[in-house]
Amino acid sequence: MDLTIDGVRSAVLSGETTAVAVAEAHYTRIAAEDGPAGKGINSFLALSRERALAQAERVDAAVRRGDPVGPLAGVPIGVKDVLTMTGSPATAGSRILEGYLPPYDATTVSRLEAAGAVLLGKLNCDEFAMGSSNENSAYGPVRNPRALDRVPGGSSGGSAAAVAAEFAVASLGTDTGGSIRQPAAFCGVVGLLPTYGRVSRYGLIAFASSLDRVGPFTRNVKDAATVLQVLAGADAHDETCSDQPVQDYVAEMQRPLEGLRLGVPAEYFGEGLDPEVRAAVERTLDGLQARGCVIQPISLPHTRFAIPTYYVIATAEASANLSRFDGVRFGLRASESNSLAAMYRKTRDAGFGAEVKRRILLGTYALSAGYYDAYYKKAQQVRALLAQDFLQAFTQVDAILGPMTPTPAFKLGEKTDDPVSMYLADIYSVAASLAGICGISVPCGTTADGLPIGVQIMGRHFAEGTMLQVAAAVESL
Amino acid sequence: MAELANLELTAEEEPRMQRDLNAILEHIAQLNELDTTGVAPLAQVAEILGGEKHAHGENLRADAVVASISRDAVMAAAPETDGRFFKVPKVIER
């Protein structure tokens, strides 16, 4: 059986195997290779066996009766632990939510299940999705399945690693500044960031609300298109989720490439770009040109301001969003506090890790009286300029292509002492986050040492179809 | 700042936090190289995607009573509760 969505679904439908057997085979693989923390890959934080097997049995029963089944029937999928799923804890990678059992399903979770997916469990991530290496998880780092001494990227490191290690056929991740696309590049899988508002965030533990998005990891482009199809569309539970019509992504993906204009931003090929990454991306461009794409140099002049802009806006929003973790309604409460104020402080001190505290402090500073204009308002103005760069570029080209990350996956511990150098790992991902456009990371080769390299394709708002068309072409080179 | 954010830093945490925050603020200072006079701040990308509809409330849902998550399910996750309310340490001293 081919471990793709089509492969699993048709094997379950034909009776070649059952959804229960597929789920059990994946659990066996997880048991053999994922743990223990500190030695194994450490991608799963919790397994949802009972829920998964009940769902698999429902799918098998439907197949036996000859009832119609959904587009993800029997497909095993993992869920990043910042999304809620009843029956499993939702920790967001943080001590402050240890043992918290959420009372409802995220819309993305219920949509996957309604489409027949078998949800295997919750995946490790940086605490509150803050990080680029998955080393900020309170439950231990995730190792990169392609090179166990390296990080899987972050913050959705567990989601990328689980798909790369074949623990799941697909997974859900979230991306605020690069947290789907960067780990996809580091682990050699496909990671798709939908347009802001394309996919519901109901049930997502919020980090930075003007940036947070949910999207899939898969091992091929067609699977990403199929999962997006299930996830996309308006949701009465999320007012920020758009009612724009949803395209037929698999059909769009298969349209001929001839004449498509691809923009190549000079700013994404500057200082700091690893020569092997550059060479792989240039080979990809040559291949696309040979397939009939028109390659066009473009400029996104404000690119170098994207990281500082992002770290003002994301931390400001995080400082507000994370104020809800106060020991009152859910999660941890520090014991022996003689006043409410002391209880807040002690709970937050015990529950939050260093990076989360750093970002809350930075965000609080950026929003404080006297600094608001200099930091927060300034960053929002630069955000407008960054968005304009893209809108301007998309008047000339249909999609934009460049390297996903400046380097391949770095070593565990390599950047943990220097937050600024860690932040710079997201240099090619944050601009698309700030502008709200869609993006996808697709594998485009490996380094001489065998480390995966990813190429990023960015599309106009709500033009995931065109982006997937280019992604499919990159995959077929 | 820690007080404003309801955080308590230990004596060991403080110097490292100060060093890191200063380095990040130095990086952020790059934004001052840009003249943004007259540029309208962008808080939400919906603003550049024709947020008109949102502004006029045309896509607000119907004002109807629908079932929400039960109080029991919510209270089950609380650190301290009497079943109806969240309990917290004393707020007003007298």
Interface size between A and B, measured as CB pairs under 8 A? 166
B44 with A387: Cβ contact below 8 A: no
**B1 contacts on A by Cβ (under 8 Å):** 361, 364-365, 368
Is a pLDDT exceeding 70 seen at residue A187? yes
Mutate to test the interface with A, among B21, B27, B45 (most CBs of A within 10 A): B45
A369 interfaces chain B, CB cutoff of 8 Å: no
Rounded to the nearest integer, the mean pLDDT of chain A is 96
The reported pLDDT for the residue numbered A11 is 98
Distances (CA, A) of A456 to A96, A182, A264, A304, A443: 34, 9, 11, 17, 9
Among A367-376, A389-398, A422-431, which range has the highest average pLDDT? A389-398
- Select from B87, B88, B1, B34 the least CA-distant residue to A360: B1
- The rounded distance, in Å, linking the Cα atoms of A288 and A477 is 8
B1 with A361: Cβ contact below 8 A: yes
- Select from A152, A153, A407, A424 the least CA-distant residue to A275: A407
Is a pLDDT exceeding 80 seen at residue A449? yes
A345 with B46: Cβ contact below 8 A: no
- Average the pLDDT over A304-319 and give the result: 97
- Average the pLDDT over A343-360 and give the result: 95
B74 with A329: Cβ contact below 8 A: yes
DSSP state at residue A453: E
Distance from CA of A443 to the nearest CA of B (A): 29
Chain B residue nearest residue A360, CA to CA: B5
- Average the pLDDT over A80-102 and give the result: 97
Is a pLDDT exceeding 90 seen at residue A197? yes
Is a pLDDT exceeding 60 seen at residue B55? no
Is a pLDDT exceeding 70 seen at residue B86? yes
| Residues whose CB is less than 8 angstroms from the CB of residue A219 and which lie 6 or more positions away in sequence, other chains included | A3, A4, A163, A164, A169, A189, A190
Is a pLDDT exceeding 90 seen at residue B63? no
Range of lowest pLDDT (A199-213, A243-257, A330-344, A360-374)? A330-344
- Average the pLDDT over A244-271 and give the result: 96
pLDDT digits (tens, 9 = 90+) for A374-397: 999 999 999 999 999 999 999 999
Instruction: Quickly state the pLDDT bin for A337 (edges 50, 70, 90).
Output: confident
- Average the pLDDT over A101-106 and give the result: 97
pLDDT digits (tens, 9 = 90+) for A146-157: 999 999 999 999
The reported pLDDT for the residue numbered A23 is 98
Is a pLDDT exceeding 60 seen at residue A363? yes
Instruction: Quickly state the pLDDT bin for B10 (edges 50, 70, 90).
Output: confident
Go through the domains of chain A in sequence order and give each one's CATH number.
Answer: 5-253 (3.90.1300.10)
- Select from A211, A30, A192, A212 the least CA-distant residue to A106: A212
Instruction: Quickly state the pLDDT bin for B51 (edges 50, 70, 90).
Output: low
pLDDT > 70: what percent of chain A?
100
Is a pLDDT exceeding 90 seen at residue A335? no
Distance from CA of B41 to the nearest CA of A (A): 4
A343 with B73: Cβ contact below 8 A: no
Q: Which of A179, A200, A433, A441 is catalytic?
A: A179
Is a pLDDT exceeding 80 seen at residue B54? no
Task: Provide the 3-class DSSP secondary structure of residue A447.
Answer: coil
Is a pLDDT exceeding 60 seen at residue B56? no
> Residue A167: what residue type?
F
Residue A242 falls in the annotated catalytic set: no
Confirm if A338 and A354 have CB atoms less than 8 A apart: no
Is a pLDDT exceeding 90 seen at residue B49? no
Distance from CA of A79 to the nearest CA of B (A): 21
B36 interfaces chain A, CB cutoff of 8 Å: yes
Residue A179 falls in the annotated catalytic set: yes
Q: Which of A48, A88, A132, A155 is catalytic?
A: A155
The reported pLDDT for the residue numbered B94 is 66
* DSSP assignment string, A6-61: HHHHHHHHHTSS-HHHHHHHHHHHHHHHT-STTTS---EEEE-HHHHHHHHHHHHH
Instruction: Quickly state the pLDDT bin for B59 (edges 50, 70, 90).
Output: low
- Average the pLDDT over A442-447 and give the result: 98
Distance from CA of A429 to the nearest CA of B (A): 16
Q: For chain B, give the longest Cα–Cα distance.
A: 56
The reported pLDDT for the residue numbered A32 is 95
Distance from CA of B51 to the nearest CA of A (A): 10
Instruction: Quickly state the pLDDT bin for B53 (edges 50, 70, 90).
Output: low
Instruction: Quickly state the pLDDT bin for B57 (edges 50, 70, 90).
Output: low
- The rounded distance, in Å, linking the Cα atoms of A430 and A456 is 12
Q: Which of residues 43-72 of B touch A (CB under 8 A)?
A: 43-46, 48-49, 59, 61, 69-70
**pTM for this predicted structure:** 0.97
- Average the pLDDT over A285-295 and give the result: 97
Instruction: Quickly state the pLDDT bin for A99 (edges 50, 70, 90).
Output: confident
A197 with B45: Cβ contact below 8 A: yes
Task: Pick A24 or B89 by higher pLDDT.
Answer: A24
B48 with A436: Cβ contact below 8 A: yes
Residue A337 falls in the annotated catalytic set: no
The reported pLDDT for the residue numbered B90 is 84
